[in-house]
Structure 1
Amino acid sequence: MTPLAAKIAFCAMPVAWYVIRLPHELRSRRTPVTRNARDLREVVLLLISLSGLGIIPFLYVATGMPRMAERAFVPVLAWLGIAVALVALLMFRLTHKALGRNWSVSLEVRENHRLIQEGVYARVRHPMYTAFWLWAVAQALLLPNWVAGLSGLVGFGTLYLFRIGREERMMLEAFGDEYRIYAARTARLIPWLY
């Protein structure tokens, strides 16, 4: 494993992500939205997450900047990063498969939206967030740069911290007791860890 191979592996992640997401995004567009929480706060959070998981690491891959934040490349960490990236993409795929037309990039409830409780959602309420946390960890392992490597954890962590409570309130408003019961028997991010 070389630093270049690790960077190529990192760049393959968003390509695979897009291949997984595109058909679901196209399908979900045909289902009208009945409740939307996309406001300035949501847009800012999405941009912060995009900066950490996309813009900053791609700037590093393309230019090597910021050079002052370089760390030693450790091949075993890069291999571990590839393994974590594969798990992230698997989780991402399973999440999209379970959600179907209910999927959205933002906080939205669609027409005829139902509470998904099967597939990966049988044990985890927010497996999409789990997938993105895994992506951020893979990024930190693959990119030997303190800024670019850790920017995903900071960027996505900011989105998660300021969005998760709002999302759960929205689900409670949409599904009431059904969501309360579901939340009581599932983990937020990691199965068997409440």
Structure 2
Amino acid sequence: MNCTMTSKFIKKNLTSPSKKIIKGTINPMTSALTSIATGANINPSDSSSTAENSSIDTKLTSQEEQQSSSSSASAKTHTKKSKKRASKQQQSEIEEAVQEEKDDEPEPDQTDSALLPDIRKNTLHEVAMTAAGLGVLLGFGITGGLFTTIKEPSLYICALSIFHFLEFYITAKYNPRKVHKESFIINNGSAYTLAHTFAILECVVEYRFFPELKKRFFWFKVVGFSLTVIGQIVRTIAMRTAGQSFSHMIVTKREDFHELVTEGIYKNLRHPSYTGFFWWAIGTQMLLLNPISIVGFVFVLWNFFNDRIRYEEKLLIGFFGDDYVNYRARTVTLIPFIA
């Protein structure tokens, strides 16, 4: 009985609908578990939530990337600005340093610029060729003095070349604003050129026709040589001492840098450059033992310097007034009969 009732109970309760319920109950769970495991067939509400979360994450990631990109761009911009600032600062420091160097440098003196030689009057190739020619002449004179028995003409050639070279050199060194290609004074007027040309011709003719005369009067030649050397030294020292105040041409207008030179060789000797020139020229003719040229040089040079000194002293009195009058009263020229 009991067994029969139990059997019925089981049959009644274990029908297919029940199985369907159980089946329906199991399958959704299995499906849900499977969905959870595989990520498929998610509940719409859960899917929406996940999408929203994903969208938020995406936005956050995008914002972070933008912020990162912005930060990187800002860092690059900042670096560029820093480099520009550093470059500008360095450039500013360099400019300040250059300006300080310029400020430390002494300002150019207008007087210094006025002392520079005028290049327009100094055609360099002509200056160079003239100096070279004088050097060749000096070499010729020295060679002749060493290898010939007659020394006087060779000494005369040496004296000429040294004199004309020093005229340019001393002017260029101590009064460059006045130097020019004619400062060699080789073209010192037709009278000067004619005088020395005549002296050379006289020497040659007399050696040819009166050789014994040229070999005599040794002490006379020594005096002539001494006057040549002393005259050259006096003139060179005078040109150096006068400096800016010396000029080969007479200056008719006083300039700011002109001053009355009363020191050194000028202390007791007035117009020492003229004195030196005068005795140098006379000495060369005494050395050559040229009687005609000696007389001719004395006459021509004395008249030339007498007229020049008188004219120049009138200008100097106008420049310096009583200062020059007093200076003239206590000095001499050492040129005969020129007080």
Give TM class, smaller chain: 0.7 to 0.9
Residues 114 and 82 (structure 1 numbering): CA distance in 2 closer, same or farther, change over 3 Å? Answer: same
CA gap 1:24/1:56 in 2 versus in 1, 3 angstroms: same
Aligned to 2:240: 97
Contact 1:141 1:149 in 2 (8 A): yes
Q: Which runs of 4+ in 1 moved over 6 A?
A: 65-71
Which of the numbers 265, 273, 278 marks the counterpart of 1:120?
Answer: 265
| Alpha-carbon offset, residue 31 of structure 1 | 5.2
Report matched runs for 1:59-138 at 5 Å. 59-61=201-203, 63-64=204-205, 72-73=213-214, 74-108=217-251, 111=255, 112-138=257-283
Q: Secondary structure at the match of 1:114?
A: coil
Comparing both structures, which one devotes a greater share of its residues to helix? 2
Residues 4-58 of structure 1: per-residue CA shift (max 9 Å, x gap): 31111122222221232212333535159xxxxxxxxxxxx95434533x33223
1:123–1:186 contact (8 Å) kept in structure 2: yes
CA drift of 1:66 comes to: 10
- The residue type equivalent to 1:21 in the other structure is E
- Which amino acid letter does the alignment assign opposite residue 269 of structure 2? V
The aligned counterpart of 1:24 is: 170
Q: How many angstroms apart in 2 are the aligned matches of 1:179 and 1:3?
A: 50
1:93-128 deviations in Å (ceiling 9; x for gaps): 211111112211121156311111111100011111
Bigger relative contact order, structure 1 or 2 (CA pairs below 8 A, ≥6 apart): 1
**Which range moves more in the overlay, 151-160 or 117-126?**
151-160
Deviates more, 1:86-95 or 1:110-119: 110-119
* Cα distance between partner residues in 1 of 2:267 and 2:316: 16
Aligned to 1:56: 198
Alignment of 1:179 with 2:324, yes or no, is yes
Q: Deviations over 1:147-177 (max 9, x none)?
A: 2333321221221122221011011111111
Q: Say if 1:51 and 1:147 are closer, same or farther in 2 by CA, change over 3 A.
A: same
In percent, how many aligned pairs have the same letter? Answer: 22
Q: 2:299 aligns with which of 151, 154, 167?
A: 154
> How far, CA to CA, are the matches of 2:149 and 2:278 in structure 1?
22
Unpaired segments ≥5 residues, structure 1:
33-44
User: In 2, are the aligned partners of 1:81 and 1:138 still within 8 Å (CA)?
Assistant: yes
Partner secondary structure for residue 166 of structure 2: helix
Provide TM-score, normalisation by structure 2.
0.46
Q: Which amino acid aligns with 2:229?
A: L
CA RMSD, Structure 1 to Structure 2 (Å): 3.2
Q: How many residues align?
A: 178
The structure having more radius of gyration, on CA atoms, is 2
Amino acid aligned to 1:64: V
Is the 1:88–1:134 Cα contact (8 Å) retained in structure 2?
yes
Distance 1:175 1:66, change over 3 A: farther
- The superposition leaves residues 163-192 of structure 1 with CA deviations (integer Å, 9 ceiling, x where unpaired) of 2210110111111111112112211337xx
